[in-house]
């Protein structure tokens, strides 16, 4: 076994690999960009090397710099994590040529499975069923359009080198094909350096089923059962679980056997995942499940497989890379209980799920489950990298228990001022369809309206008044401050009542919604006070950093926070509290003025419209690339593009007015 390992990655996966490497007694080495100088993975490593500026192309994707860091630190092995260089066959070859152990599959296997079109052809030869579609060399618009018409709409455009939903577009109508093709090609070129695509038939009730496989240099290939990753938003996985709900043993045997055949077809070594798409319109059946692609690396969702098998997949990676055989035979790999994982993204569900960036002033995770993260309180979510900041993983005896526990864990998340999808995920996990196992990749899109309908509870509104009163020195422990003089909302005395109950009137905003109430002076002396609001009187008590209303569950809250009076945390949501009217978050320009504003710093990559063009509500006007994804800013109403202030290639700052749409007369 080698004695040191460099992780050619960042964030959560780097921290994850370091955890196992330390347990095995290995020296750990991190690489980092200028943006990550104070990142958690840098702090957790035994040694760290700066490899370049913030942009991934000049740091984490620069193979020469990573290799130079390995040589300079005497690293005996390199673990690529996932993303970045993890599926770069040229990098794998360069590592081996330098005499460093590559913790991953052979370059020939990466190449064989790295391009989706070539992989599908190989799987057909190996007898693995594949999704109907086109994976030819001719990439002209004419040919691709003709093939899409032959397959029949809806179709799915997929970047041949893609992954994580990047370079993927669903197209419902022939007239929308060219625009979506151009967007997928741009994203494929930007993310993977390859604009080529393939076309697949779009399965109308798809389930995403994948099988964890593992091979070694001794000719052994095993599977570690299946995972279901059907709960997705815009082709990005949100919640994963193992095993797959509704999978009977006969179907499981067929799918896992096909996965092992696929791995053997490329003489696979190390950890890999065979991804299948299933037509779930009539349940899971072996003859309605097709090969989609292979990921020749460790997957983000690998913890759920670890939970049901008891296997440390990173340890297996390290041992197999060192030449050891797979530790367990197929018959000895267990499948116990049910595991689920929720991906915590720095994004704002109420603002079109746009990524949220900035400093993590408040970052609290549940403490009684497995949490894999690469950030910490005081750290920063950067515009330059993927917005996933943590993974919440649970393992229970049954699927129902796992879903309930994971929902509770999501509700315990407290993050500010960066927004997250924690509350949204809790609502997904609580949804009756999900609880029943009635899921497919269209679940979130179909149920989005109800999943986004959360509002602060009556108790949260009381807590907001409590927070404001506390900030303005009206906490009950100040005793004599609350007097028979009754101030109005502007704290001006309006009257004197010798026998009246003292009160202070407040108007606050919680998540942009007004709440008005009175803080009453009668109290028991133990930090308990009464607040009257929303036609109810509630007893509110400050307990540590929480507010307890009517002896209910504690509602988390922060004191004064940047730009607001404070934040009430409830059920995974962060409700900002202010004393004055507060406009809600922009969706890229207020509909009232027609301004399309950059929701974050980024680069202009397309301009579907220009000054003077007539546009309809929802029509893309300008496309911004940020955090490795494209974000189309659309017309807020029917009208004319009155101003267009940017050009393709421009770098823009947060809040910049990119274009202005004038309403039609």
Predicted local distance difference test score (pLDDT) of residue 491: 37
Q: What is the pLDDT of residue 275?
A: 95
Mean pLDDT, 10 residues at a time, over the chain (665 residues)? 98 98 98 97 98 96 98 98 96 98 97 85 90 89 95 92 83 96 92 91 91 98 98 92 97 97 96 95 91 94 98 98 98 98 95 90 96 96 93 98 98 95 97 95 93 92 83 46 36 38 70 80 57 85 81 83 83 85 34 73 89 91 80 88 92 84 85
The answer to whether 621 touches 641, Cβ cutoff 8 Å, is: yes
Q: Round to whole Å and give the CA distance between 234 and 353.
A: 10
Strand partners, 543: 546
For 158-198, the DSSP string reads: EEEEEETTEEEEEE-SGGGHHHHHHHHHHHHHHHHS---EE
Nearest to 177 by CA among 194, 197, 204, 162: 197
Check residue 202 and give its pLDDT.
Answer: 87
Tokens of 41: 């993975």
Question: What pLDDT is recorded for position 483?
Answer: 36
**What is the pTM for the complete model shown?**
0.80
Catalytic pick from 227, 297, 419, 503?
297
What pLDDT, on the 0 to 100 scale, is given for residue 488?
37
| Catalytic residue flag (residue 297) | yes
Alpha carbon separation from 191 to 347, 386, 543 (Å, rounded): 20, 12, 48
Instruction: Please give the pLDDT value at position 594.
Output: 85
Looking at residue 377, what is its pLDDT?
95
Taking residue 281's Cβ as centre, other Cβ atoms within 10 Å add up to 13
| Other CB atoms within 10 A of residue 154 CB | 14
Kindly tell me the burial class for residue 196, based on how many C-beta atoms sit within 10 Å of its own C-beta (0-12, 13-18, 19 or more): buried
Question: Percentage helix, strand, coil, to 5, in the chain?
Answer: 30, 35, 35
Confidence at residue 502, expressed as pLDDT on a 0 to 100 scale: 52
What is residue 538's predicted lDDT score, i.e. its pLDDT?
87
pLDDT at 627: 65
């Amino acid at each position: 076994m080698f004695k040191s390992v460099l992780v050619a990655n960042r964030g959560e996966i780097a921290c994850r690999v370091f955890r196992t490497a330390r347990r095995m007694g290995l020296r750990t080495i991190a690489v980092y960009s200028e943006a990550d100088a104070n990142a958690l993975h840098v702090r957790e490593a035994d040694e760290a090397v700066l490899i370049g500026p913030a942009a991934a192309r000049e740091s984490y994707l620069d193979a020469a710099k990573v290799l130079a860091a390995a040589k300079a630190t005497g690293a005996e092995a390199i673990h690529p994590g996932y993303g970045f260089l993890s599926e770069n066959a040229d990098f794998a070859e360069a590592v081996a040529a330098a005499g460093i152990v590559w913790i991953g599959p052979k370059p020939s296997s990466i190449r064989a499975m790295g391009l989706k079109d070539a992989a599908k052809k190989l799987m057909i030869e190996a007898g693995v069923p594949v999704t109907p579609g086109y994976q030819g060399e001719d990439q002209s618009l004419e040919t691709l359009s003709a093939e899409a018409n032959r397959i029949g709409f809806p179709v799915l455009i997929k970047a041949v080198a893609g992954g994580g939903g990047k370079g993927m577009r669903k197209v419902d109508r022939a007239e929308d094909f060219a625009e979506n093709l151009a967007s997928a090609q741009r994203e494929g070129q930007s993310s993977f350096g390859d604009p080529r695509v393939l076309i697949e038939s779009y399965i109308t009730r798809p389930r995403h089923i994948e099988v964890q496989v593992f091979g070694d240099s001794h000719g052994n290939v095993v599977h570690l059962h299946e995972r279901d990753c059907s709960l997705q938003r815009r082709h990005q996985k949100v919640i994963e679980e193992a095993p797959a709900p509704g999978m009977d043993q006969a179907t499981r045997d067929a799918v896992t056997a096909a996965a092992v055949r696929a791995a053997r077809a490329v003489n696979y070594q190390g950890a890999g995942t065979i991804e299948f798409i299933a037509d779930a319109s009539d349940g899971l059946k072996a003859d309605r499940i097709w090969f989609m692609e292979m990921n020749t690396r460790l997957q983000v969702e690998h913890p759920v497989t670890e939970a049901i098998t008891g296997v440390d997949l990173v340890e297996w990676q390290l041992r197999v890379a060192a030449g050891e055989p797979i530790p367990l035979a197929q018959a000895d790999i267990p499948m116990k209980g049910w595991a689920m994982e929720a991906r915590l993204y720095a994004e704002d569900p109420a603002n079109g799920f746009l990524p949220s960036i900035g400093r993590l002033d408040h970052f609290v995770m549940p403490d009684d489950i497995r949490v894999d993260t690469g950030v910490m309180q005081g750290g920063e979510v950067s515009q330059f990298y993927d917005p996933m900041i943590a993974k919440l993983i649970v393992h229970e005896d049954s699927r129902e228990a796992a879903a309930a526990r994971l929902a509770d864990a999501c509700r315990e998340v407290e993050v500010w001022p960066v927004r997250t999808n924690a509350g949204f995920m809790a609502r997904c996990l609580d949804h009756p369809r999900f609880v029943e196992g009635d899921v497919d990749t269209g679940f979130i899109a179909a149920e989005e309206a109800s999943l986004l309908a959360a509002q602060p509870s009556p108790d949260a509104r009381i807590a907001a008044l409590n927070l404001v009163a506390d900030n303005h020195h009206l906490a009950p422990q100040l005793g004599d401050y609350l007097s028979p003089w009754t101030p109005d909302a502007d704290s001006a005395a309006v009257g004197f009542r010798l026998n009246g109950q003292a009160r202070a009137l407040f108007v606050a905003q919680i998540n942009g919604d007004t709440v008005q109430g009175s803080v009453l002076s009668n109290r028991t002396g133990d930090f308990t006070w009464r607040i009257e609001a929303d036609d109810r009187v509630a007893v509110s008590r400050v307990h540590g950093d929480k507010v307890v209303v009517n002896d209910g569950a504690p509602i988390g809250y922060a004191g004064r926070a940047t730009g607001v009076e404070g934040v009430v945390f409830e059920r995974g949501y962060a409700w900002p509290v202010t004393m004055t009217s507060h406009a809600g978050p922009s969706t890229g320009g207020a509909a009232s003025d027609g301004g399309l504003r950059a929701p974050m710093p980024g680069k202009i990559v397309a301009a579907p419209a220009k000054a003077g063009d007539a546009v309809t509500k929802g029509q893309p006007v300008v496309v911004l690339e940020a955090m490795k994804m494209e974000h189309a800013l659309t017309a807020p109403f029917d009208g004319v593009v009155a101003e267009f202030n940017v050009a393709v290639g421009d770098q823009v700052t947060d809040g910049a007015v990119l274009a202005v749409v004038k309403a039609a007369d």
